[in-house]
Structure 1
């Protein structure tokens, strides 16, 4: 599967869209907001550029896309008022794969600018210039030394491709019945996923080090796991239950087992030690902050039931599942998945772990 050509969050504003099913991501953004604002303000106060160039990598679409940008602009503007300095211009690049719903982002820009004018603390309007940049962030996207600040939320756990090592020499899948690392997965599956993540994250860091100015900052938020154990329940829970939903459809003859066995997600949830090790080996950045945050279904302004959680996964996975299995199974699959989630969530509370990494480019 050509991930770059197929993968995207569910577009539009409908019931199954990412825009309507990304409240968990927003909650985490709010939880780590103080760290993001500290990073951008420290950058501004140490460099005081007349123009700040910002890139949001893996921006997706929906209300979360521009919320961080608005907060960054507001924080810098407020600080400039306090120290009696003119507010710099902001050049903002919104990046995602070319399959992303950029149209909905552009349609929301008039409302974005209207809110900025209302929130501005000066009589003159803020100068914020926004452009879309399609392409994979696993490689160069911008000219050398052109960016001051990079933000990426809930994107870097998506790999550039499904790991090649998930198939044997005979071409047959070695992780049958599963779509991610599970307790029954062979060690080769774990090795394949970790190797792909190391390669991707190393390339990401190398590319960004060339694009950032000296002492530039990055704030990265991604799903992770709490321990070195690759079968950590929180990181594998949703994939295990989605595989269970597929197994039920196989038993009813709605899907072929071979189709399920050959479907694997291009996902990896790293632990803090893995992130730290790769950053140190790449060598271009200093870690200023590396923390883990956990969020459960009761932490998003109300209880999230199995159906709403299934909708959230659907908004992320539908494009790939439709490509692999066809559209006919989508509704039934996620209806079954929601039912399974309800049963499991009645037994135990699963807290999803997210990592935040704040990096400073070395001089």
Structure 2
């Protein structure tokens, strides 16, 4: 039995944190689904910036669409929806077989809307309607304004991947927004089953503190935050509030581990995949990390439902001057800013390509 199969068998979903047109057209993604138990896919502005800006695979589509006087942003969403619709169709058998628990793909709203709830809600609804796929999540950041849009989107029946969560506190705020949205649907006599995941970013914690903590503390903070969050997640699923919603037909908002590629060259390249094995969760894994884990990774233990050593580890970081809440806010802010930067680079790359291809066609 291979290592990815072992994760699948213990109840953790493996999703691919990547999307390119080549992955789809070459059959590589289909191979990952068949051979490595990949059951979903995530994308973000940085991934698409690399996919479109550093490839010729999208040139024909850009050339054909750029004559329609579309904005660079509209052209991007056309390209992204084409890719993600194909990916959603590949995962549709998994979605159907799991009754909607698994088999999802994700598309993010414009990062420029991270602090505008009304526009986020509008764009989320529009993108989901355009995709016309039941297994497409719309990614909305768990910012203060994003939480408003998350609750409203869930109430409107739009499946949501809550992104840019960094702490247990931020996770719980997102989970409560999801619960409120479902509760409003039940009160309104609507179907309680609207899909959602909550994405907790892991490795960025360790990058942020690597130069300020003791050597023995390196690469331990992200895992400790995940352990603390997993305990809160398990407690929520056992709560009477959730049990009432489940009885009404709601599906659990699963925790998703994001940013699970190892950044420290001295650490194991499968560090976060091995450390975060846990039932009823998802690990969305960069392609390089997925292949490394399939080759030599091992899932030796499962996250404890009671938080394990998380409290002691976090207390040690506190003694070293790391304020978890303050750092979580900083990481969320910096993450949103990084996605904005990638978004602008992405749109610039599309505009530059469109102009170049137009000149080439004219000459």
TM-score with structure 2 length normalisation? 0.31
Higher share of residues assigned strand? 1
Given the two structures, how large is their TM-score scaled by the length of structure 1?
A: 0.31
Structure in which a larger fraction of residues adopt helix: 2
